[in-house]
Amino acid sequence: MDKATFVATLLEQRAEWEALLARFDVEEMLLSGAAGTWSIKDVVAHVAWSEHEMVPVMRSHIFSGSQLWQVSEDERNEVVYQQNEARSLQEVLADEQKIYAQFLQAVQDLDEEDFHDPRRFQHMPADWVPWQIFAGCSYKHYEDHMPSLQAWLIRRGDQPSRPSEA
């Protein structure tokens, strides 16, 4: 995937993500059950954590980050959940918007070669493809969580729609 396609895909998927989140009111965003036992607030904080982890990687070209990457996905998710549990919805949403803006800027600042060549990032495994890592921590991550949020809409009687259908 080239840089322009990545950015276009990120922007498109982000618009779908935000449109889906906008379908929930404040009270609903705090209810358990949006994704397993998680609330929408929990899902948003979880997604923001992944994007946050990639910003310094893209800016420094050094593949490092939280020690949480060294534990199982379930353990990592639980720690991120615990770190955000006491935060207010408004704080989580504002922080997530700020992190996404930083992520988008970092992506736009990358060179074309940065999307394909893991050697451009110190400590990145040679068999990894950078754009796939960045996608997995952003728009692919939205795609992972959108079905459970859409199912929650259906359970409450709404029909999920894509932004182009709204």
pLDDT of residue 156: 76
pTM equals: 0.91
Let me know if 79 is exposed, middle or buried by CB neighbors in 10 A (0-12, 13-18, 19+): middle
Q: What is the amino acid identity at position 69?
A: W
Nearest alpha carbon to residue 107 among 62, 64, 65, 58: 58
pLDDT of residue 159: 64
Using one digit for the tens of pLDDT, what is the confidence trace for 116-161? 999 999 999 999 999 999 999 999 999 999 999 999 888 877 765 5
Complete domains list, the chain, with CATH = 3-165 (1.20.120.450)
Using one digit for the tens of pLDDT, what is the confidence trace for 14-70? 999 999 999 999 999 999 988 889 999 999 999 999 999 999 999 999 998 788 888
pLDDT of residue 161: 58
In SS3 terms, the chain reads as: CCHHHHHHHHHHHHHHHHHHHCCCCHHHHCCCCCECCECHHHHHHHHHHHHHHHHHHHHHCECCCCHHHHCCHHHHHHHHHHHHCCCCHHHHHHHHHHHHHHHHHHHHHCCHHHHCCHHHCECCCCCCCHHHHHHHCCHHHHHHHHHHHHHHHHHCCCCCCCHHHC
Q: What is the amino acid identity at position 91?
A: E
